[in-house]
Amino acid sequence: MDKTPQTIAVYLIDGFALMSFASVAEPLRAANLLAGRTLYDIQTIPVSGEEAKSSGSAIIRREGGQASPDLALVVAGGDPFAVEAQDLMDQLHRLDAAGITLGGVSGGPVILARAGLMAGRRMTVHWEHAPALSELQPELLIERNLFVIDRDRVTCAGGTAPTDLMHNLVAQHHGAAFAREVSDWFLHTDVRLAGDPQRAGLQERFGVTSRPLLDAIEMMETHIADPLSMKQIAEITGVSPRQLNRMFQGKLSRSTMAFYRDLRLERARRLLSQTPLSLSEVAEATGFAAMPHFSRAYSSAFGVSPSTIRSGVKS
């Protein structure tokens, strides 16, 4: 077990989710309390000055920051693609050059990726940001896990997932028994593994239990840019197109292909609001071969044209 205090620097970008920050900091503070000594020196470093404001308007002030950290975590929420933080990126490069382990929580991994610090490393990010990040940097090794530790990089999806990440880190430093004490302190009795999913399963998300429906939706979600035909989906599910349509209408109040189109348009909406991709690139990434078709479908679904959404995004 490691008896040397670990210094954890948490860089906070305005608009961060308070839950993500608390899920990082509170298990470490509890570890100090339960151990009766300082196991973790927690530095809170607002990126924009002496204070950082969360998405819920909570204010976190600068604390510590003198000692060189063992781990530097960037916590970001909102739209991390729009964050202008060159000073932070330069600082992260300096830390990397000094051999410091870097990480990100929620939208934080987007900042690391934009800084060019995730090349060749496995990583995760909040599921909301994953499609946009994949489109912008297709070479990234993005996994849909709660957290990923790959050598000198630690990335976490955010929300409550950092409590599971902190359990893992405390166990590495001070043993599994002590990590369990820390988790029990927060009534966190069901510690999840790194590879556990970020989102509820399809059954819970869509309220369906039929195997053909679940198989169809799973294939749709993995074929957004290259849409499958009705015939292909039916063949995969093992039922006829007519029967599959009846099942979709009965359980989801839409035909099979209407449901599929809505999934693709929802992905398009996220890409338009989160990335500087051109309209044609968004259309291609969501399986629309012709811009007029994409524009009509988007406007019909959301009551606003895609060009209107694009006009509000900065490259």
Do 105 and 211 lie in one domain? The reply is no
pLDDT digits (tens, 9 = 90+) for 106-124: 999 999 999 999 999 999 9
* Structural domain ending residue among the three candidates 156, 185, 214: 185
Say if residues 64 and 41 touch (Cβ distance below 8 Å): yes
Q: Please, which residues have CB within 8 angstroms of residue 85's CB and are 6 or more apart in sequence?
A: 13, 47, 111
Q: What pLDDT sits at residue 265? A: 95
Do 207 and 175 lie in one domain? The reply is no
pTM for the predicted model, two decimal places: 0.78
Do 245 and 286 lie in one domain? The reply is yes
* Structural domain ending residue among the three candidates 151, 185, 219: 185
* Structural domain ending residue among the three candidates 126, 150, 185: 185
Q: Please, which residues have CB within 8 angstroms of residue 209's CB and are 6 or more apart in sequence?
A: 203
For residues 90, 95, 98, 101, the Cα torsion angle rounded to the nearest 10 degrees is -140
Q: Please, which residues have CB within 8 angstroms of residue 286's CB and are 6 or more apart in sequence?
A: 224, 225, 264, 265, 267, 268, 271, 294
Do 135 and 94 lie in one domain? The reply is yes
Looking at the domain assignment, is residue 56 inside a domain? yes
pLDDT at 244 over 80: yes
Do 22 and 118 lie in one domain? The reply is yes
Say if residues 160 and 106 touch (Cβ distance below 8 Å): no
Do 83 and 173 lie in one domain? The reply is yes
pLDDT at 315 over 50: no
Do 230 and 114 lie in one domain? The reply is no
Do 144 and 238 lie in one domain? The reply is no
pLDDT digits (tens, 9 = 90+) for 215-240: 899 888 878 888 999 999 998 888 99
Q: What pLDDT sits at residue 312? A: 53
Name the pLDDT band for 184 (thresholds 50, 70, 90): very high
Q: What pLDDT sits at residue 222? A: 79
Do 158 and 221 lie in one domain? The reply is no
Do 160 and 212 lie in one domain? The reply is no
Q: 């410091």: which residue's tokens? A: 100
Range of the structural domain that residue 241 is part of: 202-310
Looking at the domain assignment, is residue 1 inside a domain? no
CATH number at residue 279: 1.10.10.60
CATH number at residue 138: 3.40.50.880
Say if residues 180 and 161 touch (Cβ distance below 8 Å): no
pLDDT digits (tens, 9 = 90+) for 269-282: 988 887 778 899 89
Looking at the domain assignment, is residue 67 inside a domain? yes
Do 58 and 170 lie in one domain? The reply is yes
Distances in Å between the Cα of 210 and the Cα atoms of 172, 213, 241, 256, 260 are 42, 5, 15, 14, 17
Number of separate domains in the chain: 2
Looking at the domain assignment, is residue 315 inside a domain? no
Do 105 and 217 lie in one domain? The reply is no
Q: What pLDDT sits at residue 41? A: 95
Q: What pLDDT sits at residue 18? A: 95
First to last CA, the chain: 47
Looking at the domain assignment, is residue 195 inside a domain? no
Looking at the domain assignment, is residue 220 inside a domain? yes
Looking at the domain assignment, is residue 231 inside a domain? yes
